[in-house]
Every structure is written in structure tokens, then in C-alpha cells.
Amino acid sequence: MTNPSLNCLSEGETLDDLARRECAIGFDLRFCRSVAVSLDDRETITCDPTEAEFATLYALTDLDEAVAVHDVQLTSAGADEVAAVACALFVTIVNGDPPNAAQRHEVDQAALISPDQID
């Protein structure tokens, strides 16, 4: 399966990277609209489909967080696009090898400890 272009992730980040780092255990599609007050503002809210301007596919983590993966327009092409990304995310999660709790704790602790820190 080819890697789809993902417009909510950092450039070069893959679904494998996301799924492993965030311990993705599922996904969710949410209908959204902008509540931005300026052109630089990217504030959005989840809303009813009838009020939506676009949809966002989120990866759900084992810590009950939702990480935005991909935004799509509310068109038939957008439906095809989100279906392809959801399929790729599903396969990534099913075939993935997420870190166990001990490995994740070790990585989290290492990130908190600076190499310049005095013990």
C-alpha cells in the first residue's frame, strides 16, 4: 500500500511513525468548521455534519488523545481521500508493533533527563 499524503502531520512523518510514537489504537472521523478570528488563526471546532466545512481523520491513542492526521473537503473526492487514509491507518495499526508500557515509560523518562543535568 502506498503512503498517502497527510496534511496534518509534519513533513516526512508517516503513519508508521505516528502509530508507534503515539501508540495509536484506533481512529475517528470528525466533522469540523473554522472559528478563526484572523487569517493566521487555525482554531476549529467539531460540529454536526450539516454545519461542517471539512472533516478531519484522527488517530486515537492509548492515552485517550486524538491526533489529527488528515483534513478533507466535504466532496466525493474528499470521501475517497479519507477512505484511503483511513484504510492505510487501519493497516498500520493492525500490523504495527507499538512499544509496551515499560518501553514507553523509558522513552518518556529519557526525554525528561537532560544530558547536562547534575545528579
- Cα–Cα distances in Å, from 12 out to 4, 39, 60? 11, 26, 20
Q: Is residue 1 part of a domain?
A: no
What is the count of structural domains for the chain?
Answer: 1
Q: Is residue 54 part of a domain?
A: yes
Q: Provide the residue count of the chain.
A: 119
> Is the predicted pLDDT of residue 118 greater than 80, yes or no?
no
Confidence of residue 5 (pLDDT cuts 50, 70, 90): confident
Q: Is residue 45 part of a domain?
A: yes
pTM recorded for the entire structure: 0.78
Q: pLDDT (tens digit, 9 = 90+) per residue, 25-82?
A: 999 999 999 998 888 888 899 999 999 999 999 999 988 999 999 999 999 999 999 9
Q: Is residue 10 part of a domain?
A: no
Query: What is the reported pLDDT for 40?
Result: 84
**What residues make up the domain containing 33?**
15-112
Residue 73 burial (CB count, 10 A): 13
State what percent of residues in the chain have pLDDT above 70.
82
Q: Is residue 103 part of a domain?
A: yes
Q: Is residue 4 part of a domain?
A: no
